């Protein structure tokens, strides 16, 4: 039996966390036989190594020659402290310290080059931001060896083959499968534990790419698929997927069972606990997915199961994405004109901006959609170019944006069999005088999304959360 276990930033965030993680790995190997570990960069809150690396890169691109040096000092402190706390001097301490030190020196060299060139390409960003994982796996693997396990750090650049869409690269399954099997299966066959970097991958030519922020979860699913694993477990710092973001609402509770569709909607609409792309490789290969808490392993966490079509229980969770804009294209002359929606979204896609929600009034006199706030001006300009003629003829009256809005999404497969849920949601929001700017419901009826003003987000989430039985 093969189990893939992914450990998030906090689970490898300090010497103590790595010790607890090692215990879990040890137990899993005993129970499952073959264990594949995927690890994130060290990420003890508030210091997240990936954020530090990116901060260094961006400041260097802006011409700042000091920040990245301070970041390098901080990186040394975080990693060397973990190494000191875990590895004994007579063992591999010096060796691993040296390897981590080399990554940090390389980070400084790359930042220096970026500063001189004054340019930071997506390719350079991936080379820089992926180093956190390369450092953490080396520490964890060495510690496991020290306590008697045959563990080996493996860079996923050797395993996961992607396109060259840096920062959100797309894996190629056949190539990934064959490379992973050739490299990882022999380790498993001899009882060793591969400790693999999350987040990073490489092009066919071997150039480092990344799978997107939070992408280590996705790495675990890709490797699970490649190795035909029996289960994939995501170890994090909360008791599984919760009824809402525990940082926003204190009495958020863990949800024991969710369907693939429910968890997809939650992940897509802001529940950071799972990267949304993690789900597809698991569904397509019938690989059960669990989310568990490294710091409370006795808790069963959340298990993700196939949708049996008779969901019960109404609302299961509520989530939010902040810092969005709602862009509206409106005009009396739009009615019945074919192709307006296609041209609108074609123009947005051309700018490489993602659309998170779409709503159209049935009169066809307006169409509105939500995009990240920082892309608003770019999108409006693109639409004004696309519809220059229609604007001139006043078929389209205006294209405008409402800034600082949020999408609040309510999820539960059981909502489709339970009439009156939307009514209850709107009633509580109305009682709080929260204005709902737009609404969208997926045809699966598994989620309802509402656009509200940025200032209303916290209240909307906690009021809706109070409706969860």
Residues in the site for ligand ADP, rule: CB under 6 A? Answer: 8-11, 40, 43, 214, 236-238, 241-242, 244-247, 271-273, 317, 319
Decide which of ligand ADP, ligand ASP, Mg ion, none touches 412; Cβ closer than 5 to 8 Å per partner kind.
none
Answer whether 171's CB lies under 8 Å from 13's CB: no
Answer whether 453's CB lies under 8 Å from 437's CB: yes
Judged by CB, which is closer to ligand ADP: 274, or 368? 274
List all residues 6 or more positions away from 114 whose beta carbon is below 8 Å from its beta carbon: 57, 60, 61, 120, 124
Judged by CB, which is closer to ligand ADP: 38, or 192? 38
* CA 220/CA 277 separation, integer angstroms: 11
Q: Counting contacts by CB under 6 A, is residue 9 touching ligand ASP?
A: yes
* CA 339/CA 395 separation, integer angstroms: 13
Judged by CB, which is closer to Mg ion: 12, or 125? 12
Position among 29, 44, 209, 216 found at the interface with ligand ASP (CB under 6 A): 216
Answer whether 100's CB lies under 8 Å from 80's CB: yes
Angle at 253 between CA 249 and CA 258, to 5 degrees: 120
Residue in the structure block whose two tokens are 């009682």? 431
Instruction: Kindly state the smallest distance separating residue 104's Cβ from ligand ADP, in Å.
Output: 21
**The one segment of 75-83, 212-220, 226-234, 338-346 that binds ligand ASP by CB under 6 A:** 212-220
Q: Counting contacts by CB under 6 A, is residue 244 touching ligand ASP?
A: no
Instruction: Kindly state the smallest distance separating residue 424's Cβ from ligand ASP, in Å.
Output: 35
Pairing of strands 208-210, 200-203: antiparallel
Q: Counting contacts by CB under 6 A, is residue 199 touching ligand ASP?
A: yes
* CA 182/CA 1 separation, integer angstroms: 18
Instruction: Kindly state the smallest distance separating residue 278's Cβ from Mg ion, in Å.
Output: 10
Judged by CB, which is closer to Mg ion: 56, or 214? 214
Q: Counting contacts by CB under 6 A, is residue 13 touching ligand ASP?
A: no
For Mg ion, the nearest residue by Cβ is 214
Output the CA–CA distances (angstroms, integers) from residue 359 to 155, 337, 356, 388, 443, in the order listed.
Answer: 43, 17, 10, 23, 13
Chain contacts with Mg ion (rule: CB under 5 A): 8, 214
Instruction: Kindly state the smallest distance separating residue 172's Cβ from ligand ADP, in Å.
Output: 25
Left (φ > 0), alpha (ψ -120 to 50) or beta: where does 381 sit?
alpha
Strand positions, DSSP E, 171-245: 193-197, 200-203, 208-210, 231-236
Decide which of ligand ADP, ligand ASP, Mg ion, none touches 199; Cβ closer than 5 to 8 Å per partner kind.
ligand ASP
**The one segment of 149-157, 210-218, 301-309, 361-369 that binds ligand ASP by CB under 6 A:** 210-218
Q: Counting contacts by CB under 6 A, is residue 197 touching ligand ASP?
A: no
Position among 56, 171, 198, 331 found at the interface with ligand ASP (CB under 6 A): 198
Instruction: Kindly state the smallest distance separating residue 292's Cβ from ligand ASP, in Å.
Output: 16
* CA 186/CA 276 separation, integer angstroms: 31
Judged by CB, which is closer to ligand ASP: 135, or 317? 135
Instruction: Kindly state the smallest distance separating residue 262's Cβ from ligand ADP, in Å.
Output: 11
Q: Rounded to the nearest 5°, which phi and psi values hold at 257? A: -135, 135
Judged by CB, which is closer to Mg ion: 197, or 203? 197
**The one segment of 142-150, 208-216, 293-301, 375-383 that binds ligand ASP by CB under 6 A:** 208-216
List all residues 6 or more positions away from 198 whose beta carbon is below 8 Å from its beta carbon: 6, 38, 39, 40, 133, 156, 215, 216, 217, 219, 220
Position among 13, 56, 132, 224 found at the interface with ligand ASP (CB under 6 A): 132
Query: Which positions from 37 through 96 interact with ligand ASP, judged by CB under 6 A?
Result: 40-41, 48, 50
* Among the listed residues 373, 374, 371, the one whose alpha carbon sits nearest the alpha carbon of residue 345: 371
Instruction: Kindly state the smallest distance separating residue 41's Cβ from ligand ASP, in Å.
Output: 4
* CA 31/CA 1 separation, integer angstroms: 9
Angle at 384 between CA 383 and CA 386, to 5 degrees: 60
* Among the listed residues 210, 288, 258, the one whose alpha carbon sits nearest the alpha carbon of residue 447: 258
DSSP one-letter string for 400-430: EEEEEEEEEEEE-GGGGGSTTHHHHHHHHHH
Give alpha helix (H) positions in 269-420. Answer: 279-284, 340-350, 376-386, 388-392
Judged by CB, which is closer to ligand ADP: 293, or 328? 293
Instruction: Kindly state the smallest distance separating residue 212's Cβ from ligand ASP, in Å.
Output: 8
Decide which of Mg ion, ligand ASP, ligand ADP, none touches 50; Cβ closer than 5 to 8 Å per partner kind.
ligand ASP
Instruction: Kindly state the smallest distance separating residue 231's Cβ from ligand ASP, in Å.
Output: 19
Decide which of ligand ADP, ligand ASP, Mg ion, none touches 237; Cβ closer than 5 to 8 Å per partner kind.
ligand ADP
What residue ranges bind ligand ASP (CB under 6 A)? 8-9, 40-41, 48, 50, 132, 198-199, 213-216
């Amino acid at each position: 039996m093969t189990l893939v276990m992914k450990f998030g930033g906090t689970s490898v965030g300090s010497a103590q966390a790595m010790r607890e993680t090692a215990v879990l790995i040890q137990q899993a190997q005993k129970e499952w036989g073959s264990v594949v570990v995927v690890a994130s960069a060290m990420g003890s809150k508030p210091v997240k190594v990936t954020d530090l690396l990116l901060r260094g890169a961006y400041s260097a691109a802006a011409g700042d020659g000091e920040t990245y040096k301070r970041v390098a000092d901080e990186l040394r402190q975080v990693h060397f402290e973990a190494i000191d706390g875990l590895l004994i001097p007579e063992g591999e301490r010096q060796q691993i310290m040296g390897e981590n030190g080399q990554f940090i020196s390389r980070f400084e060299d790359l930042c220096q080059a970026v500063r001189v060139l004054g340019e930071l390409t997506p390719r350079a960003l991936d080379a820089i931001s992926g180093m956190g994982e390369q450092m953490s796996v080396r520490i964890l693997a060495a510690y496991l060896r020290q306590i008697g396990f045959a563990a080996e750090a493996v860079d996923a650049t050797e395993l996961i083959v992607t396109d060259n869409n840096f920062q959100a690269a797309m894996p190629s399954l056949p190539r990934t499968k064959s490379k992973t099997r050739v490299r990882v299966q022999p380790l498993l066959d001899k009882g060793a534990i591969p400790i693999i970097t999350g987040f990073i991958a490489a092009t066919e030519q071997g150039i480092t790419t990344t799978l997107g922020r939070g992408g280590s979860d996705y790495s675990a699913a890709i490797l699970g698929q490649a190795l035909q694993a029996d289960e994939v477990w995501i170890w994090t710092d909360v008791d599984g997927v919760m009824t809402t973001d525990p940082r926003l609402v204190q009495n958020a509770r863990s949800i024991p069972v969710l369907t693939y569709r429910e968890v997809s909607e939650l992940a897509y609409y802001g529940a950071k606990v799972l990267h949304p792309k993690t789900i597809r490789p698991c569904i397509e290969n019938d690989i059960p997915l669990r989310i568990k808490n490294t710091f409370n392993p006795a808790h069963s966490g959340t298990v993700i199961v196939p949708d049996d079509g008779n969901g019960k229980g109404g609302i299961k969770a509520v989530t939010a994405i902040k810092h969005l804009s709602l862009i509206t294209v409106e005009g009396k002359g739009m009615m019945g004109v074919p192709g307006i929606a296609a041209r609108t979204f074609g123009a947005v896609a051309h700018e490489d901006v993602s659309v998170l929600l779409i709503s159209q009034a049935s009169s066809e006199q307006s169409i509105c959609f939500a995009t990240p706030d920082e892309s608003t001006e770019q999108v409006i300009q693109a639409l004004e170019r696309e519809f220059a003629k229609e604007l001139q003829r006043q078929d389209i009256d205006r294209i405008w944006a409402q800034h600082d809005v949020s999408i609040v999404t309510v999820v539960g497969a059981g909502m489709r069999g339970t009439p009156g849920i939307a009514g209850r949601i709107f009633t509580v929001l109305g009682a709080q005088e929260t204005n709902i700017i737009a609404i969208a419901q997926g045809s699966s009826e598994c989620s309802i999304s509402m656009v509200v003003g940025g200032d209303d987000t916290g209240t909307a989430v906690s009021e809706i959360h109070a409706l969860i039985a």
